[in-house]
Amino acid sequence: MPPRIAMVAGEASGDLLAGHLIGALRRRLPDAEFVGIGGPRMEAAGFEAWWPAERLAVRGYAEVLRHYRGITRIRRQLLARLLRERPQVFIGVDAPDFNLWLEARLRRAGIPAVHYVSPSIWAWRRGRLPKIARAVSHVLALFPFEPEIYRGAGVPVTYVGHPLADVIPVEIDLRAARDKLAIHPAGPVIALLPGSRQSELQYMAGLYVETAMLLHQRFPAAQFLVPLVSRETRAIFEEAMWSKGAQELPFKLLFGHAQDALAAADGALVASGTATLEAALTKTPMVIAYRMSPWSWRLMRRMRYQPWVGLPNILAGRFVVPEFLQDDATPENLAQALGNLVEDRRVADGLRETYRAIHLTLRQDTATRAADAVVSCLAPP
């Protein structure tokens, strides 16, 4: 009887991770069956989706509350089916609020539960660690500082590296990146990544536009690349351009292509999150800027454990790149810091060396390492 592996991925990033993992597992277990909740990349790898991943891809408190009953119903139906069919292992890919509940109940029933992508307990809400310890059989960690946290709590863990480090080449071809985007600037190229969510753009679109206006005064031949993920976020950014009187600035708005924009840039202004890691892996000098609601800022500041929010700084254990948060995130501060990075080749080259060391640390052939760990957890058929 072929091994059956159940998986749940709830967002595009999880679908991508899981798709790579399925491919690596097929090389080890050619006749394995993969079932559960997943997206198009997983299905392309031979996954049988009982529900599509988009049913779980809900962000924001209001959206979660509106869809709560439907999501809860799916989770209970999935649990019942998994308990009935008893896969050899369950893999929850990110989506901790959904998956940890499921993993705890499957593990109690004797089904190994692997959680792929550690929740950010190293950044905030470390109180979740006991819950994770009760829920999972094994954690697959993307960052090298995470295993120590889990081992201290008695949780089996494997460091597998970060898949972006495998996908993005260590050496970046600036000219090829610019040719791909059909840009041949006379001056510096500056990437602006104000976030992927509408709520982020509401707080940062105007700030990023005003920063670009100041940078354009300093570098009249500069070009600005702005990758945006949806029509909604593009509309918010365009509204900010018009409201600030910046519609004549040389903005090139892109749908997606964040990595291409970063690879083509001399410097970048980046909201915190995975985009800061993408900027480091593309070896782009960056400044991190983030604003949120005053209430959310007070809450996050009380709950976080580290002095940094950007992944390059967290991975380096020091301030490698400047961070300007909340009230410190002013157009003047951002334009001055980013302009200095663009002009100072020596500092930029030093940054790239640090980025390269981070890249090599994270480049671990993630899918293969993750597959090896999963195979070691398989229960007998």
Residue 60: per-residue pLDDT: 41
Q: C-alpha angle with apex 74: 70 to 77, nearest 5 degrees? A: 135
CA distance 22 to 7: 10
Whether residue 6 has pLDDT greater than 80: yes
Residue 272: per-residue pLDDT: 73
CA distance 281 to 223: 22
Whether residue 63 has pLDDT greater than 50: no
- Of 63-72, 92-101, 331-340, where does mean pLDDT reach its minimum? 63-72
Q: Taking all residues of the chain, what is their mean pLDDT, rounded to a whole number?
A: 88
- DSSP labels, 98-165: HHHHHHHHHHHTT--EEEES--STTTB-GGGHHHHHHH-SEEEESSTTHHHHHHHTT--EEE---HHH
Residue 129: per-residue pLDDT: 84
Question: pLDDT tens digits, residue range 24-57?
Answer: 999 999 999 999 999 889 999 999 999 987 766 5
| Closest among 104, 289, 93, 254 to 182, alpha carbons compared | 254
Confirm whether pTM is higher than 0.85: no
Residue 15: per-residue pLDDT: 86
- Mean pLDDT for 359-380 is 94
Residue 301: per-residue pLDDT: 60
Longest Cα–Cα distance in the chain: 68
User: String of b and e for 122-141 (b: at least 16 CB within 10 Å)?
Assistant: bbbebeebeebeebbbbbbb
Q: Is the sign of the CA dihedral 64, 67, 73, 77 positive or negative?
A: negative
Q: Walk me through the domains of the chain, giving residue ranges and CATH numbers.
A: 4-161+364-377 (3.40.50.2000), 174-361 (3.40.50.2000)
For residue 318, count CB atoms less than 10 angstroms from its CB and return exposed for 0-12, middle for 13-18, buried for 19 or more: exposed
Residue 256: both structure tokens together = 């997606």
CA distance 289 to 269: 7
Whether residue 377 has pLDDT greater than 50: yes
Residue 59: per-residue pLDDT: 44
DSSP 8-class letter at 30: T
Residue 305: per-residue pLDDT: 54
